[in-house]
Every structure is written in structure tokens, then in C-alpha cells.
């Protein structure tokens, strides 16, 4: 009886367990936060609470925790990793640089924040993601024009920036009104890496140098080349955020008012909270995650999907595209999805029309070429996960009995052939009886 | 060399015609047949130039039936010409039988290719 109860309990728990591995729910569920110091838990509590309130299991650990492990028995224990441990030289337990990169390579997400104490380990993780922190370990971002006004005239290392990336999907549809406060080190994005994007850039007057020493040579990084916050969306849709400022997430800057130097607008609250919350929503796949389902095609006037098309057939193609809203799949509405009818090069490229409910459809004529074709939908848009669908379909030529017979244009040729035959007959008679 | 005039051309045609009158009537019939075939072929080529090359196989078979007919008729004419010493051993009955057989094969092919 007890055994039966256990069995029933196990079976009833199974769907819940399965849910946590469901590919139908792309949002991360379990987040591991690695800290240098557990005091960060309270000093950055607003940020962590906003994550928790969105339904994530947040697990705090010290970066040098000897039992630290991202996976057990080949299964990852977490969906996302937040590295708020800039000064860690090496992680505890079995985690290392390769472990973090493998975590990302298997499609998991990462938020990395450094500061002026950034260790080589943290710098290397960033470099592997296409972001290079300033090599001078004493340099931090200084801006004598767009610094944050405060009571004491400081060294202008607390800077403000409102140079956001123009993307509703990454930063949310509500514009970040107040500028973002930033105090930390500069990085540049690797020009060879096409996947990394600058989300928050420094102003043209910013530069990266040691504030306490006199500048003897031009700074390595300056102006808009300095990126303050960068994101990467890998080809496997893993998302990474990298920033050189751990303070950006702190309660102090989230709650602080902001006034840009030389600007009379004084905001009672900085844009940091909205910025980091929206960015973390994007990183944790609560926004901008697309899926394409129900790729269908059939001949015009039919409903069944054929195994093969004939050249010059008219066909209809449809696919449904949905966007994950964090809770459910919502129809994705846009006007720039295209389908290719592809055999080594696209023979047909058509923009799909939408019914505003997620269904995209079009119709076209199969080209006058036979071979093995593919329907291809390649959809890559800034901030959205890439869609790459292909479905193979062969196209055959006409069968011997599918060609036209007795074409009116050819009647003179038919006539000529029969005339020569008749002519041959008459000629034979005339020739034989002519004596 | 003297300059040619229209008189010379007229004289040329006159001599040609008088020489041709002496041709046996059986050869004249063949000549007429060849002219008919060539004329039909030219009509088809002109028609193709007007309406375009579709359907090309029908055009080819139509024109080739005329050309083939003309070629076979010319071959027959060579073989039955008494003045042609090359085929003096070949009886004209044999030549005509060859001609008929070749025509049958030609038209079989043409019918198959006509579309």
C-alpha cells in the first residue's frame, strides 16, 4: 500500500518534473549567482528581488565555494549564471573557465559584471565572449563632460550614459527616460565577432585611464569605442550580458537620483533599475524568443502535403511564428519574414503575409527547374532568437503523358509532315506510271 | 574579259532551258518533287520566324521531313540518271526500292518526333 502511494505520488510529480525540462518553455528557471562576498546579496537586493519576483529560483553561492558545480550526472543544475564575483582568481569546486564556456555553449545564459578589481579569469571569460576589457588593470572609465553631478566634486568616475541600443526587444518597449549611472571599467567589443552588440555606449568624451595618476600617454580606449554594457546572442540562442560595472546593479545606484553634468534635467531616480531589469528579462529569455511551428505546404486547391511537386505547380506555403512572452506563446507579428525555395541558391524569395495571429503564408509557382529543393525560412533580427527552418522537397519534370498534345501553333508543322507523306505517295505513282 | 550584260544572262538561261528540255521526263518529275519539298521547308522556316520556336520538336520534324524527302529524291535522281556512269550497273528498280524503304524509315521517325 505504501509502495502504491509512493508510485502514485511519483507519477503525479512526473509532469511537474517534465515541465522543468520542457523546450516549450524557453525562460530560464534556475539561476546561480556567484558572489565574492555575501554582503552583495543585500547591497544588490533590489536587482535580485526583481529576478526572484519574476519566478526564478535564485541560488547564491560564494565563487570559491569548494562544492561549486554547474552540472551533476551530465545534467545542468542551472539555466543561467550570474557572475558577480569580479575579483575571483579561480572558482571553487570543479568550475573553471572551460566550465563556464561549456555552460554557455550548451545554450545557457550568463550575466557577467566586473569592476576595477577584475581578475584574469573574469577577463578571459569576457574575451571568449567577444568582449575585451581594458588591459590596464588600474584604468576605469572617466568622463569629464557627462559625469553625474553630486555634492562633492569627485574624479568624474561616476558617469552617466543614455546612449542605448535602438532595440525594443532588448530594452523593452518603454523607453528608458533617465540616464544610467555607471562606475567601472571600460571594454571594447571584438570587431571580428559579429554576435556581440553594444547596448550601452559611453559618450564621445569618455576615456579609460587611472584617475589617480597623471595621463602620460593617450588612453587605449576612448570615446564611443568604449562599451559600457554589451550583449551577445550566440548561434545556439544562449544570451550573455557583460558589463564592467558591478555597481550598476547595486541598490545605491538603482535608488540614486541622477543629474547629468551641464544638463538642468534632474531625475529623482536613475534609469538603472529599468535598464538592468529589462536587460535581465531579455537575457533570461522572457522576451525576444521566437519559435516557428507548423511549417506547411500544399498545392493550390488541395490540403494534403504532397511528397513531390511537379515543375510549374502552384503551391501554398504557411508557417506559424510565436514569441515567448515569459508566460505564454504570443503571435509574433511583423512584415519581413521571407521564405526561400532553395536549391543551392534561392529560386524563389517571397515575403510572407501575416494574418496578425501568428500565421504567415504565401503562394508561388514552382520554378521551371527540377531537382531537390528546400523551403527555407531564415529569420535573424536584432535581439530576437534566430529562426532557421528548412524542409526538403523534390521537384520532378513533366511525365511523358503530361505534355500538351496537338498544339495549335504546331499545326503547320503537322500539315507539312503529312503533305510530304502524301507528296511521296503521289510522286511514287506518277513516277512509276510515267513512261 | 568582256563585261557581262543582261544579254549574257538571258543567253545563259536560254541555253540552260534548252539543255533541260532534253532531260528525260522521269528526272523532271523528280526535280518537281524536290522543288515542292524545299518550298514546304522554306514556308515552315518563315512560319517559325514569325511565331517563335515553340514547339521546337514539331518544327524540327516538319522541316526535316521536307529536307529528308528532298535529299532522298536527289539520291534517287543520281541513281536513275542514265548519263551517270557511276551507277550504270544499278537497275533503276533497285534504286526506287531503296528510295521507298528510306522514305518509310524517314516518315516513321518524323511521326515519332512530331509530338
Chain-chain contact of A428 with B100 (C-beta, under 8 angstroms): yes
| Mean local confidence (pLDDT), A17-29 | 61
Give the pLDDT of residue A219: 86
The answer to whether A326 and A286 have CB atoms below 8 angstroms apart is: yes
Indicate the pLDDT class of residue A21, thresholds 50, 70 and 90. very low
Indicate the pLDDT class of residue A19, thresholds 50, 70 and 90. very low
Report the C-alpha gap between A91 and A270 in whole angstroms.
33
B10 within a domain of the structure (yes/no)? no
Report the C-alpha gap between A122 and A112 in whole angstroms.
8
| Mean local confidence (pLDDT), A216-231 | 89
| Mean local confidence (pLDDT), A63-91 | 91
B81 within a domain of the structure (yes/no)? yes
Which chain B residues touch A413 with a CB distance below 8 Å? 44, 55, 58-59, 61-63, 114
The answer to whether A100 and A93 have CB atoms below 8 angstroms apart is: no
Q: Among A58, A73, A130, A128, which Cα is nearest to A96's?
A: A128
Q: Among A334, A316, A330, A342, which Cα is nearest to A380's?
A: A334
Report the C-alpha gap between A348 and A430 in whole angstroms.
61
Q: Among A314, A157, A162, which Cα is nearest to A247's?
A: A157
Give the pLDDT of residue B50: 94
Report the C-alpha gap between B46 and B51 in whole angstroms.
9
Distance from the Cα of residue B29 to its chain's centroid:
11
A429 touches chain B (CB under 8 A): no
Report the C-alpha gap between A78 and A321 in whole angstroms.
28
Closest chain A CA to residue B47: A412
The answer to whether A36 and A60 have CB atoms below 8 angstroms apart is: no
Distance from the Cα of residue A63 to its chain's centroid:
28
Q: What is the CA radius of gyration of chain B?
A: 19
Q: How far is A313 from chain B (nearest CA, A)?
A: 21
Grid coordinates in use for A61? 553561492
Report the C-alpha gap between A339 and A224 in whole angstroms.
37
Report the C-alpha gap between A172 and A288 in whole angstroms.
10
For A177-196, b/e burial (b = at least 16 CB within 10 A) is ebbbbbbbbbbbbbeeeeeb
Indicate the pLDDT class of residue A212, thresholds 50, 70 and 90. confident
Indicate the pLDDT class of residue B2, thresholds 50, 70 and 90. low
Which chain B residues touch A416 with a CB distance below 8 Å? 40-41, 43-44, 62-63, 65-66
Report the C-alpha gap between A314 and A301 in whole angstroms.
9
Tell me A400's DSSP state.
G
Least CB-CB distance to A410: which of B43, B55, B66? B55
Report the C-alpha gap between A325 and A322 in whole angstroms.
9
Give the pLDDT of residue A153: 67
Q: Is the pLDDT of residue A13 over 90?
A: no
Q: Among A184, A207, A187, which Cα is nearest to A196's?
A: A187
pLDDT in tens, B25-80: 999 999 999 999 999 999 999 999 999 988 899 999 999 999 999 999 999 999 99
B45 within a domain of the structure (yes/no)? yes
Place of cell 559618450: A203
Which H, E and C letters describe chain B, residue by residue? Answer: CCCCCHHHHHHHHHHHHHHHHCCCHHHHHHHHHHHHHHHHHHHHHHHHHHHCCCCHHHHHHHHHHHHHHHHHHHHHHHHHCCCCHHHCCCCHHHHHHHHHHHHHHHHHHHHHHCC
Q: What is the domain count for chain B?
A: 1
Domain A289-400, CATH among 2.60.40.1930, 3.90.550.10, 3.40.190.290, 3.30.450.20: 2.60.40.1930
The answer to whether B37 and A423 have CB atoms below 8 angstroms apart is: yes
Chain-chain contact of B40 with A416 (C-beta, under 8 angstroms): yes
Report the C-alpha gap between A344 and A330 in whole angstroms.
34
Give the pLDDT of residue A240: 95
Q: Which residue, among B37, B48, B79, B95, would best test binding to A if mutated, counting the most A CBs under 10 Å from its CB?
A: B37
Q: Is the pLDDT of residue A3 over 80?
A: no
Q: What is the residue extent of each domain of chain A?
A: 24-283, 289-400, 404-433
Report the C-alpha gap between A2 and A114 in whole angstroms.
53
The CATH architecture assigned to A24-283 reads 3-Layer(aba) Sandwich (3.40)
pLDDT in tens, B76-114: 999 999 888 998 889 999 999 999 999 999 999 999 998
CA angle A228, A108, A97 (to 5 degrees): 70
Indicate the pLDDT class of residue B115, thresholds 50, 70 and 90. confident
Query: What burial class does residue A364 get, using C-beta atoms within 10 Å of its C-beta: 0-12 exposed, 13-18 middle, 19+ buried?
Result: middle
Q: Is the pLDDT of residue B5 over 90?
A: no
Which chain A residues touch B110 with a CB distance below 8 Å? 417
The answer to whether A267 and A258 have CB atoms below 8 angstroms apart is: yes
Could you list the residue range(s) of the whole structural domain that residue B60 is in? Answer: 25-113
Q: Decide which of A213 and A334 is more confident.
A: A334
pLDDT in tens, A253-298: 999 888 888 878 888 889 999 999 999 999 999 999 999 999 999 9
Give me the residues of B, 64-103, that contact A with CB < 8 A. Answer: 65-66, 69, 73, 96, 100, 103
The answer to whether A377 and A292 have CB atoms below 8 angstroms apart is: yes
pLDDT in tens, A358-401: 999 999 999 999 999 999 999 999 999 999 999 999 999 999 88
Q: Is the pLDDT of residue A22 over 60?
A: no
Work out the mean pLDDT of chain B and round it to a whole number: 92
Q: Among A294, A249, A301, which Cα is nearest to A270's?
A: A249
Q: Among A321, A312, A300, which Cα is nearest to A341's?
A: A312
How far is residue A156 from each of residues A30, A105, A114, measured CA to CA in Å?
38, 38, 19
Q: Is the pLDDT of residue A14 over 80?
A: no
What are the residues whose beta carbons fall under 8 Å from the beta carbon of A200, sequence distance 6 or more? A161, A163, A164, A165, A180, A182, A227, A228, A229, A243, A275
Tell me A183's DSSP state.
-
pLDDT in tens, A99-158: 999 999 999 999 999 998 899 999 999 999 999 999 888 888 998 888 888 767 678 889
Report the C-alpha gap between B57 and A413 in whole angstroms.
10
Amino acid at each position: 500500500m505504501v509502495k502504491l502511494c509512493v508510485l502514485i505520488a511519483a507519477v503525479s510529480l512526473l509532469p511537474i518534473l517534465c515541465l522543468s525540462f520542457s523546450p516549450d518553455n524557453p525562460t530560464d528557471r534556475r539561476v546561480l549567482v556567484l558572489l565574492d562576498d555575501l554582503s552583495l546579496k543585500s547591497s544588490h537586493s533590489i536587482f535580485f528581488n526583481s529576478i526572484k519576483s519574476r519566478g526564478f529560483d535564485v541560488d547564491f553561492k560564494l565563487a570559491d565555494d569548494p562544492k561549486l558545480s554547474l552540472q551533476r550526472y551530465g545534467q545542468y543544475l542551472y539555466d543561467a549564471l550570474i557572475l558577480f564575483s569580479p575579483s575571483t582568481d579561480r572558482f571553487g569546486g570543479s568550475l573553471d573557465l572551460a566550465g563556464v564556456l561549456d555552460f554557455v555553449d550548451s545554450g545557457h545564459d550568463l550575466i557577467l559584471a566586473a569592476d576595477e578589481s577584475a581578475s584574469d579569469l573574469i577577463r578571459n571569460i569576457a574575451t571568449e565572449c567577444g568582449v575585451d576589457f581594458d588591459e590596464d588593470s588600474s584604468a576605469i572609465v572617466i568622463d569629464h563632460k557627462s559625469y553625474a553631478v553630486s555634492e562633492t566634486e569627485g574624479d568624474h568616475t561616476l558617469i552617466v550614459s543614455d546612449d542605448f541600443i535602438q532595440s525594443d526587444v532588448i530594452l523593452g518597449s518603454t523607453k528608458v527616460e533617465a540616464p544610467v549611472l555607471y562606475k567601472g571599467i571600460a571594454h571594447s567589443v571584438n570587431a571580428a565577432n559579429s554576435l556581440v552588440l553594444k547596448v550601452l555606449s559611453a559618450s564621445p568624451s569618455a576615456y579609460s585611464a587611472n584617475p589617480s595618476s597623471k595621463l602620460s600617454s593617450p588612453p587605449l580606449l576612448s570615446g564611443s569605442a568604449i562599451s559600457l554594457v554589451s550583449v551577445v546572442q550566440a548561434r545556439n540562442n544562449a544570451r550573455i550580458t557583460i558589463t564592467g560595472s558591478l555597481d550598476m546593479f547595486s541598490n545605491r545606484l538603482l535608488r540614486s537620483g541622477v543629474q547629468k553634468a551641464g544638463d538642468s534635467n534632474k531625475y529623482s531616480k536613475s534609469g538603472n533599475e529599468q535598464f538592468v531589469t529589462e536587460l535581465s528579462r531579455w537575457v533570461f529569455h522572457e522576451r525576444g524568443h521566437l519559435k516557428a511551428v507548423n511549417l506547411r505546404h500544399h498545392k493550390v486547391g488541395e490540403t494534403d502535403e504532397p511528397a513531390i511537386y511537379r515543375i510549374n505547380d502552384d503551391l501554398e506555403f504557411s508557417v506559424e511564428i510565436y514569441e515567448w512572452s515569459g508566460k505564454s506563446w504570443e503571435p509574433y507579428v511583423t512584415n519581413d519574414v521571407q521564405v526561400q525555395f532553395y536549391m543551392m541558391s534561392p529560386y524563389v524569395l517571397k515575403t510572407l503575409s501575416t494574418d496578425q495571429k501568428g500565421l504567415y503564408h504565401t503562394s508561388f509557382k514552382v520554378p521551371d527547374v527540377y531537382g531537390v529543393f528546400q523551403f527555407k525560412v531564415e529569420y535573424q533580427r536584432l535581439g530576437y532568437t534566430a529562426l532557421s527552418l528548412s524542409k526538403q522537397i523534390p521537384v520532378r519534370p513533366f511525365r511523358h503523358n503530361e505534355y500538351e498534345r496537338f498544339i495549335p501553333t504546331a499545326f503547320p508543322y503537322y500539315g507539312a509532315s503529312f503533305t510530304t507523306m502524301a507528296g511521296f505517295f503521289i510522286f511514287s505513282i506518277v513516277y512509276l506510271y510515267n513512261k | 574579259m568582256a563585261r557581262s550584260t543582261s544579254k549574257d544572262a538571258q543567253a545563259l538561261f536560254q541555253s540552260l532551258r534548252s539543255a533541260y528540255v532534253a532531260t528525260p521526263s522521269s528526272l523532271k518529275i523528280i526535280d518537281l518533287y524536290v522543288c515542292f519539298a524545299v518550298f514546304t521547308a522554306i514556308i515552315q522556316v518563315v512560319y517559325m520566324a514569325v511565331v517563335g520556336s515553340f514547339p521546337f520538336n514539331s518544327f524540327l520534324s516538319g522541316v526535316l521531313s521536307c529536307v529528308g524527302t528532298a535529299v532522298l529524291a536527289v539520291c534517287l535522281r543520281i541513281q536513275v540518271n542514265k548519263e551517270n556512269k557511276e551507277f550504270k550497273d544499278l537497275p533503276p528498280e533497285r534504286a526506287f526500292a531503296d528510295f521507298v524503304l528510306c522514305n518509310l524509315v524517314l516518315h516513321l521517325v518524323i511521326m515519332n518526333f512530331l509530338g
